[in-house]
Structure 1
Amino acid sequence: MRIRHLTGVVGRAVRASGGFKPMIRKVVSLYRREGFSGLRNGFRQRRDLSQESAKRNDYDEWIERYDCIDDEQRAAIQKRIAVMPDRPLISVVMPTYNPKPEWLKEAIESIRNQLYPNWELCIADDLSTDPAIRPLLEQMSSEDSRIKVIFREQNGHISAASNSALQLATGDWVALLDHDDLLPEHALYCVANAIVANPSARLIYSDEDKMDAAGRRHDPYFKCDWNRDLFYSQNFFSHLGVYHKALLDTVGGFRIGIEGSQDYDLVLRCIEHIDDDAIHHIPRVLYHWRVHAESTAGGADAKPYAALAGERALNEHFARRGVAASVEWITRGYHAHYSLPATLPLVSLIIPTRNALKLMRQCIDSIVGKTTYSNYEIIVVDNGSDDPEALRYFESLGEDARIRVLRDDSPFNYSALNNSAVAQARGELVALINNDIEVISPDWLSEMVSLALQPGVGAVGAKLYYPNDTLQHGGVVLGIAGVAGHANKHAQRPAYGYFGRTCLIGSYSAVTAACLVIRKSIYQEVGGLNEKDLTIAFNDIDFCLRIREAGYRNVWTPYAELYHHESATRGDEINPQRRVQFLTEIAYMQQRWGEVLSRDPAYSPNLTLDYEDFSLAWPPRVEALGRDVASS
């Protein structure tokens, strides 16, 4: 919708203006002086200047500013450690096999240099053939009693070696470290702090980056909070992964035969025994993954067997859970295909419109002509059309038994139009469809329905492209432009996005109602779209947040691809009444969801809220190390 563009124009200055209320005053003042065009151009200029000055993807500079701790922070951390009521013992498990001796030594020293002292390092050497390894391990073990080493008598590969190291562990918590990677000095402090602050946690993970041969850090992965659907697409849990030892004992440690994806398999088996709220994310880079030819940090192609092992681990996980699904590796991650029931449920596709003959014909023809899912009905909601050709077309649609046209001459209220149609829908599921949507992938509805039928899933969104093949919708991120924005908007098709987020199934806090599928029972349970306060904009965001509030998760899939001919029926300007309405609806969203909008669990506080491209936040919305002491 054209009104959506105003979000980007108005909202980017929220933080720069000192908050929402000061921003609104500035917006209204600028609008009164210069109108919408001046409003838009003024904030575009500010945005462009910001792009030039921030160097917003310069990770070296970001590290220097926000990820280097000084002596004052070290002192604060040590003070916090000293007063911890219970300092958990963290067992760091490290299997080794023929690592470069200098890298192995650096990995061990990164543990010895931890600010948090209550650790033990449990190393199992898997019969390394390099004669330098055993003396090095023996020497380092003799220098620090917290370092335990076992030398296996036969080579058993990484799972067997990891289990041997686990046998040495006496801590209540286990952290995994590869023999050539590094932990920053504050890593185990952050883990211990999280354990103390979150007593119900059973699994903990952090952000990570990569490190080249020269020791330069790059390619940071700033992760979202626990996201089950994204985890089924990629193993973002590792690294740094930390496990409650009792949970590892319950699942029996590492499984032989899943080498290459043994960590993935371990977490999959762990989550079968705990609730999602027992999984805690630390939004800090606590793991440096060394990149070299044999490392999976260099990509799945470095270890193709790892991708196949992950595929097997996922398929067996679904089988154990009784979920009818099959998983395949798709280069950048995994695609979980959820099976549809033998009898397909009826889906009611609801399309509001006023006139728009060309768009409506294109939309309906693409649905009828390309959609492979067979059991659907189309409900066209005619909101006061007066174009004779459009009216004749709508009348002709009645020749198809799957299509109904409902006439509604009330003033335009997007929420009310959809709510009224849903009440008359016959389907077990409903799909909200804009009249400017055009089907690309024939399996779009099958994909969305298969996800919407999964337990715990609320709304399901699709991958929408502009006609020029740039991304329009890849999920919604809260807080962008003051309310919400589209993830990786304008990325060129196929639009893989930040760490594959726009080519993998994952949960988002919200998805757009331009193409949304949901069970009718859930739609009605949460009260449908808000037709009182949100008649034009943000009704889908509010709807999805109420779905999430009710305990469901909203899922986005890249395998349902459609074009969204957004703004095709509107001019460059919107009428003054709608401008005022838009500002009113921003105010409602801030009042109703203010705290929620400030921290999106499906997005990282280390990433920007000023742009939609997952670039770095300057500064991040995370307390500086040491300052978190008072709130711990």
Structure 2
Amino acid sequence: MPASGAEVPEFQPLPAQLTGLWRKRRDLAARAASDGLRVALPGLAGRWVEIVLSNDPAEGRDTLPDISFVGPDGRPGTVLPQEARGGGAFAWIGRLPEDVVALRVADPAGRVPVRLRRIAVHRLARPILAARGLLRDPGLTAQALAWRILGKKVRARGFLGRALRHRRVSGYEAWLGTHSLRRAERDGIAAEIAAWTDPPLISVLMPVHNPDPKVLRSALASLRAQLYPHWELCAVDDASTRPEIPRILSRAAEADPRIRVLTRPENGHIARATNDALGMARGAVCAFMDHDDALTEDALYEVARALRRDPDLVLIYSDEDKIDGRGRRFDPHFKACFDRELLYAQNYINHLTVVRTEALRAVGGLRPGFEGSQDHDLLLRLTDGLDPGRIRHIPRVLYHWRAAQGSGTFSDRSLARAEAARLRALEEVVAPWGGRAERGPGGFNRLIRPLPAPPPRVSAIIPTRDRAEILSVTLDGLLGATDYPDIEVIIVDNDSREPETAALFARYRDDPRVRVVPVAGAFNFSDLSNRGAAAATGPVLLFLNNDIEVLEPGWLAELVRHAVRPEIGAVGAKLLYPDHTIQHGGIVLGIGGVAGHSHLGVADADPGYFCRMVIAHEVSAVTGACLAMRADVFAAVGGFDAEALKVAFNDVDLCLKIRRAGYRIVWTPFARLIHHESKSRGAEDTPEKRKRFEGEVLTMLDRWGPELRADPYYNINLSRNSAHYRV
């Protein structure tokens, strides 16, 4: 939420109304505030309602607004999960809190939603509640009714709330039902394009070699169906032997002058055929398209729109999904904004890829000899040294990747050759600065960065209070099972009293690598960590919980390789629970209102969403339970906030300050440790702890509201109920 005194945007009143069975419709007071729109809810505390927010469908895409309840203190609570109803409408259904006074509605940037046209609050009578519950989940509703008959009102409300929020259609199928273009949107796009002066020409490059005639016709049809008319198809028949293919291409060219065809006398494979298509291109940018895939009808419009907004863009890419022979869409890939670290390991950019023509020609197009990974090789060379500001991700599914028998998408015959080509492509890019490429988990690239010689001292800062039995495991692992030559351990002792702790400290008294810094007072992780950093002598700081267990000797060297990079502000590790499920796979902003751990509870062996858990990649934040960074960066951003964030979210706050200072943050799976989370401190299970935690939540919302609603590494189409990368 913006700070008090922030400018309140101009607000045009919109209908906000209360309706209900046997009640007249009445208006609700709505006013603009610095953090969005506030709608008063007088007399509705503790009532069952359905809240429906309606956008104007003629003004563009469905944009999910944030809604939260406002209590007597005027502060909004956690963002509520909603379901899309289609036609620009979103809804929440449930029982209002007993102390609610208003509803806050905001766009992802914390402002009044400009497309919002109506807010309706429907008060639901008991017969309506029961009927809706039975339609959505008869089993849960029956349990709710049974508990109500037995007089267990609270338990009945819980079951009924779950029943009402149950969606009969879920997953990607449901998502597609609410994210397709409507007639009003198509008309709006056509009018927008007609008003453009000098619209950019987009050259679509399509190498063709013996596709199924049916899917080739489908690919061509998806081009002709584009809402954006300013395109040309540069199709190159790479000596197809199926007689239907030349006929299909020839007829398409005769029917549409935007389609041009070149026929190669001999098969040269995909790189040469694509380069021939590049030679034909007359457009400002080139879009890559396989001969058996399809574009969404708004694909090229979205590309042209991005180019008009930022003419300096060199690379544009979109989300994608797969499509089978029956036209069923599945397996969507909702991607992150540009992530160089992730691109080193895998070609996550993939489809739809659009490159400025002059830049594509400047790097020599695709390179023969890298078949199977020719696109990845191109992107590595193209983005090497390219300003990320000239790369744009469009968070919309604009491309359907064909998953059909015989499609190269799912062929294993050339897998080994493709992996070798991918490794060679990375090696050529990173070798000049000492990087080394090797085969990583799942066949993806692993980049081994050089460790400075000599390796810098690492000052490990461990706040603790008693619990010697777990601290000893951490110290033994750090000092005895870690392969790193220069480690300084600073134990920040917060009023330990137990004799076992004193004995443990005595055991390390003569070890020159270990120092104990006593700090009295209430537990304050931020203050303890700051004091430890002040006592450190190493150029690299490692903030480490006292309940960490080392699994592999090379974990610290892996963290240091990233931490010493001048563009990196912090690096985090893969932390596991004792049962070897994931406790920390990076932090995703906005989960549960503030932030949550990625892939929480997923098995260590699970590669994660598009193999995220086995690949180093950029994130917005990492946990302070194991966080490495340079001491100069820590000092420059002011360290941890020991006043407002004593226990929770101080690591997220630190990372956001690091990113604001212009640094990037990396998470790596090649530093694996066990984290016995909160074992030494306990859970937030007392009134005092809960009050402190609630205050820390409000601090984060006040300080970082817009950032928490827009994590660049977590696609806006994914659910914010958990960080499991689901729609």
The alignment's TM-score, normalised by the length of structure 1, stands at 0.89
* Structure 1 residue 556 displacement after superposition: 0.3
Moved more, 471-480 or 397-406: 397-406
Moved more, 192-201 or 541-550: 192-201
Q: 1:72 & 1:534 partners in 2: Cα distance?
A: 48
What letter corresponds to residue 390 of structure 1 in structure 2?
T
Q: Does 1:228 align with 2:340?
A: yes
Compared CA separation, residues 487 and 51, structure 1 to 2 (3 A): farther
Number of the residue aligned with 1:474: 585
- Whether the 8 Å CA contact 1:89–1:171 is kept in 2: the answer is yes
- Whether the 8 Å CA contact 1:158–1:259 is kept in 2: the answer is yes
Q: 2:217 & 2:408 partners in 1: Cα distance?
A: 20
* Structure 1 residue 196 displacement after superposition: 0.8
Which residue of 478, 498, 507 maps to 1:387? 498
Number of the residue aligned with 1:147: 259
- Whether the 8 Å CA contact 1:87–1:192 is kept in 2: the answer is yes
What letter corresponds to residue 63 of structure 1 in structure 2?
L
Number of the residue aligned with 2:175: 62
Q: What's the C-alpha RMSD, in Å, of the aligned pairs? A: 2.4
Q: 1:204 & 1:346 partners in 2: Cα distance?
A: 41
Q: 1:453 & 1:28 partners in 2: Cα distance?
A: 51
| Bigger proportion of residues as strand | 2
Q: Is the partner of 2:614 in helix, strand or coil? A: coil
* Structure 1 residue 274 displacement after superposition: 2.1
Number of the residue aligned with 2:646: 535
* Structure 1 residue 276 displacement after superposition: 0.9
What letter corresponds to residue 177 of structure 2 in structure 1?
E
Number of the residue aligned with 1:413: 524
* Structure 1 residue 55 displacement after superposition: 4.8
Compared CA separation, residues 395 and 572, structure 1 to 2 (3 A): same
Deviations 1:184-232 (A, max 9, x none): 1111011111111122211000000011122211000011111111111
Compared CA separation, residues 56 and 333, structure 1 to 2 (3 A): farther
Q: Does 1:53 align with 2:107?
A: no
Q: 1:85 & 1:408 partners in 2: Cα distance?
A: 67
Compared CA separation, residues 18 and 130, structure 1 to 2 (3 A): farther
Deviations 1:50-105 (A, max 9, x none): 77436542x12211222x21211111110111112331100000011111111111
- Whether the 8 Å CA contact 1:92–1:176 is kept in 2: the answer is yes
Q: Does 1:544 align with 2:655?
A: yes
Q: Is the partner of 2:290 in helix, strand or coil? A: coil
Which residue of 643, 646, 666 maps to 1:555? 666
Q: 2:412 & 2:386 partners in 1: Cα distance?
A: 29
What letter corresponds to residue 602 of structure 1 in structure 2?
Y
- Whether the 8 Å CA contact 1:308–1:329 is kept in 2: the answer is no
What letter corresponds to residue 258 of structure 2 in structure 1?
R
Aligned residues: 592
Number of the residue aligned with 1:179: 291
Q: Does 1:104 align with 2:231?
A: no
Q: 2:622 & 2:164 partners in 1: Cα distance?
A: 28
* Structure 1 residue 508 displacement after superposition: 0.5
* Structure 1 residue 356 displacement after superposition: 1.1
Q: 2:405 & 2:414 partners in 1: Cα distance?
A: 7
Q: Is the partner of 1:518 in helix, strand or coil? A: strand
Q: Is the partner of 1:239 in helix, strand or coil? A: coil
* Structure 1 residue 238 displacement after superposition: 1.1
Which residue of 272, 293, 297 maps to 1:160? 272
Q: Is the partner of 1:81 in helix, strand or coil? A: helix
Q: 1:301 & 1:487 partners in 2: Cα distance?
A: 34
Number of the residue aligned with 1:278: 390
Deviations 1:575-622 (A, max 9, x none): 322222211111111111011111000100000111221110xxxxxx
What letter corresponds to residue 584 of structure 1 in structure 2?
G
Number of the residue aligned with 2:696: 585
Number of the residue aligned with 1:205: 317
Q: 1:614 & 1:334 partners in 2: Cα distance?
A: 22
Once the two structures are superposed, the pairs formed by residues 82-121 of structure 1 within 5 Å of their partners are 82-121=194-233
Q: Is the partner of 1:600 in helix, strand or coil? A: coil
Compared CA separation, residues 27 and 613, structure 1 to 2 (3 A): farther
- Whether the 8 Å CA contact 1:296–1:303 is kept in 2: the answer is no
Compared CA separation, residues 24 and 325, structure 1 to 2 (3 A): closer
Q: Does 1:23 align with 2:23?
A: no
Once the two structures are superposed, the pairs formed by residues 347-358 of structure 1 within 5 Å of their partners are 347-358=458-469
* Structure 1 residue 355 displacement after superposition: 0.5
Which of these two proteins has the greater Rg computed from alpha carbons? 2
Once the two structures are superposed, the pairs formed by residues 302-313 of structure 1 within 5 Å of their partners are 303-313=415-425
Deviations 1:420-458 (A, max 9, x none): 111111111010000111111221111111111223111
What letter corresponds to residue 167 of structure 2 in structure 1?
S
Q: Is the partner of 2:68 in helix, strand or coil? A: coil
What letter corresponds to residue 61 of structure 1 in structure 2?
A
Q: 1:480 & 1:46 partners in 2: Cα distance?
A: 24
Compared CA separation, residues 580 and 399, structure 1 to 2 (3 A): same
Compared CA separation, residues 547 and 463, structure 1 to 2 (3 A): same
- Whether the 8 Å CA contact 2:226–2:297 is kept in 1: the answer is yes
Moved more, 450-459 or 296-305: 296-305
- Whether the 8 Å CA contact 1:207–1:284 is kept in 2: the answer is yes
Number of the residue aligned with 1:624: none
Q: 1:374 & 1:363 partners in 2: Cα distance?
A: 17
Once the two structures are superposed, the pairs formed by residues 292-371 of structure 1 within 5 Å of their partners are 292-298=404-410, 303-320=415-432, 322-331=433-442, 333-371=444-482
Compared CA separation, residues 493 and 48, structure 1 to 2 (3 A): farther
Q: 1:437 & 1:513 partners in 2: Cα distance?
A: 12
Q: Does 1:511 align with 2:622?
A: yes
* Structure 1 residue 16 displacement after superposition: 5.5
Number of the residue aligned with 1:525: 636
Compared CA separation, residues 329 and 567, structure 1 to 2 (3 A): closer
Which residue of 435, 448, 452 maps to 2:559? 448
What letter corresponds to residue 125 of structure 1 in structure 2?
D
Q: 1:495 & 1:570 partners in 2: Cα distance?
A: 29
Q: 2:414 & 2:343 partners in 1: Cα distance?
A: 21
* Structure 1 residue 411 displacement after superposition: 2.8
Number of the residue aligned with 1:5: none
Compared CA separation, residues 445 and 294, structure 1 to 2 (3 A): farther
Extract unaligned runs of 5+ from structure 1.
1-12, 31-39, 617-632
Q: Is the partner of 1:352 in helix, strand or coil? A: strand
Q: Is the partner of 2:613 in helix, strand or coil? A: coil
Q: Does 1:484 align with 2:538?
A: no
What letter corresponds to residue 17 of structure 1 in structure 2?
S
Which residue of 342, 348, 353 maps to 1:241? 353
- Whether the 8 Å CA contact 1:265–1:313 is kept in 2: the answer is yes
Q: Is the partner of 1:138 in helix, strand or coil? A: helix
- Whether the 8 Å CA contact 1:293–1:302 is kept in 2: the answer is no
Q: Does 1:266 align with 2:266?
A: no
Compared CA separation, residues 44 and 162, structure 1 to 2 (3 A): farther
Q: Does 1:256 align with 2:256?
A: no
Number of the residue aligned with 2:328: 216
Compared CA separation, residues 300 and 230, structure 1 to 2 (3 A): farther
- Whether the 8 Å CA contact 1:206–1:240 is kept in 2: the answer is yes
- Whether the 8 Å CA contact 1:295–1:302 is kept in 2: the answer is no
Extract unaligned runs of 5+ from structure 2.
1-50, 52-64, 80-95, 101-153
What letter corresponds to residue 368 of structure 1 in structure 2?
L
Q: 2:223 & 2:628 partners in 1: Cα distance?
A: 48
Q: 1:61 & 1:194 partners in 2: Cα distance?
A: 27
Q: 1:75 & 1:343 partners in 2: Cα distance?
A: 64
Compared CA separation, residues 329 and 569, structure 1 to 2 (3 A): closer
- Whether the 8 Å CA contact 1:204–1:280 is kept in 2: the answer is yes
What letter corresponds to residue 390 of structure 2 in structure 1?
A
Q: Is the partner of 1:455 in helix, strand or coil? A: coil
Q: Which has the higher contact order (CA 8 A, sep 6+)?
A: 1
Compared CA separation, residues 531 and 47, structure 1 to 2 (3 A): farther
Q: Does 1:566 align with 2:677?
A: yes
